[in-house]
Amino acid sequence: MLSPNSLIYVAGHNGMVGSAIIRRLKLSGYSNILTKRRSELDLVDQKQVFSFLQHYKPDYIVSAAAKVGGILANNTYRAEFIYENLVIEANLIHGAWLAGVKDLLFLGSSCIYPKFAPQPMPEECLLSGELEYTNEPYAIAKIAGIKLCESYNLQYGTNYLSVMPTNLYGTNDNFDLEKSHVLPAMLRKFHLGRCLMDGDRAAIRRDFDKNPVGNIDGSASDEELAALLDSYGVSLTCNGSSSVTLWGTGTPRREFLWSDDLADACVFIMEKVKFSDTYEAGSREVRNTHINIGTGEDISIRDLAETIMRITGYRGSLRFDASKPDGTPRKLQDVGKLTKLGWRHSVALEDGIARMYRDYCSA
């Protein structure tokens, strides 16, 4: 459990989740926060991780470091997603135990649940069915992290808690057109579609200077930029308007949580929750001790797209490519366990997207 002077190591502090958790910790008065850049500490290197944890012996570890991405990245880089995530979490969790660290928070993902899980998805449905194929390697790695935490707690008496955030978005998100998650990818596509329709080439160049794709930035020719946009489904139509094409049918439903709401939930759990609070006392078999973090509300991909179109001012056409995969039909988490513990989200989806777009445009 946290105390005012706890030394807190946040792994993955530069990412959207890690940076949000640091902001929330500082807001709560925790100033003894330890971070390391990847150039200083490679979390895939077991020797480096064990040596680092033995040296600093933090009071609390937040394991927010992971290789992450959207459906395209998950399906393309399957080996990297399973290997890197397995190794990072194993190094941190086992290294924590070796260093005598009693408290740790492991962050997973809602993709751990079966493709056709009951909706909303309770913690108890873990390992009850087949995973969604496109993110199976990542999901298996995260399931292993949950079981590592449970096993160390049961065998060694540690307090290693696992939380499963729903789909996240917010400050410091990843807007890479190939590797980002659905919401930031959509937001950028509709922003570029609006710029294209308005003939604002300077804005398109500024966008690619901020977020290059491969070796293509704002210095590329008009033809190169147009071809790249078209390859990601953003193009001019014959009547001078623009069109944005998204993968799938638009019918899947997803739940989205503002990243600072997640951080608030994480700090709440770090301060108030013990491993023994995550399962029924006297249980003969202790499992499914992880805690879902979400809003308990979802939206269709089509409705999400139309919301982002409205916020970005995009007035072109919207198309869906049904030949591309939809992923899991619905992913809504049951947040009853967390609600019972005393936490609820505060940022509404449309308000969060509007804030995110203002930040994106002003960056």
16-33 pLDDT per residue, tens = 999 999 999 999 999 999
pLDDT at 1 over 80: no
Give the pLDDT confidence of 218-270 residue by residue, as tens digits. Answer: 999 999 999 999 999 999 887 778 999 999 999 999 999 999 999 999 999 99
The pair of structure tokens assigned to 318 is 């919207």
Looking at residue 235, its pLDDT comes to: 94
Q: How confident is the model at residue 191 (pLDDT cuts 50, 70, 90)?
A: very high
Looking at residue 181, its pLDDT comes to: 84
For residues 52-75, give the mean pLDDT.
91
Segment (H or E) for 190? helix 182-198
Active site residue 133: no
The pair of structure tokens assigned to 108 is 């997973």
Looking at residue 217, its pLDDT comes to: 95
Q: Average pLDDT of the chain?
A: 95
List domains and CATH numbers for the chain.
8-172+256-296+332-347 (3.40.50.720)
Residues 6+ apart with CB under 8 A from 343: 264, 265, 268, 269
How far is residue 110's CA from residue 15's CA, in Å, rounded to a whole number?
A: 18
pLDDT at 347 over 80: yes
Cα distances (Å, whole numbers) of residue 93 to 21, 38, 263: 19, 18, 20
The active-site residue, picked from 30, 60, 113, 138, is: 138
Cβ atoms of 8 and 58 within 8 Å: the answer is: yes
Looking at residue 136, its pLDDT comes to: 94
Whole-model pTM above 0.85? yes
Looking at residue 19, its pLDDT comes to: 96
Comparison of pLDDT for 3 and 51, the residue scoring more: 51
Q: How confident is the model at residue 70 (pLDDT cuts 50, 70, 90)?
A: confident
Residue with tokens 């294209």: 196
For residues 311-319, give the mean pLDDT.
97
The pair of structure tokens assigned to 235 is 């193009």
For residues 95-117, give the mean pLDDT.
96
Taking each helix axis from N to C end, the angle separating 182-198 and 301-312, rounded to the nearest 10 degrees, works out to 40
pLDDT at 302 over 80: yes
Q: Of the given ranges (73-77, 95-99, 288-292, 330-334), which has the lowest mean pLDDT? A: 73-77
Cα distances (Å, whole numbers) of residue 219 to 228, 229, 360: 13, 15, 20
Q: Of the given ranges (19-28, 49-58, 64-73, 300-309), which has the lowest mean pLDDT? A: 64-73
Taking each helix axis from N to C end, the angle separating 349-362 and 301-312, rounded to the nearest 10 degrees, works out to 50
Evaluated on CA atoms 242, 248, 249, 251, the torsion sign reads negative
For residues 177-189, give the mean pLDDT.
90
Comparison of pLDDT for 229 and 71, the residue scoring more: 229
pLDDT at 356 over 90: yes
Q: How confident is the model at residue 328 (pLDDT cuts 50, 70, 90)?
A: confident
Looking at residue 75, its pLDDT comes to: 84
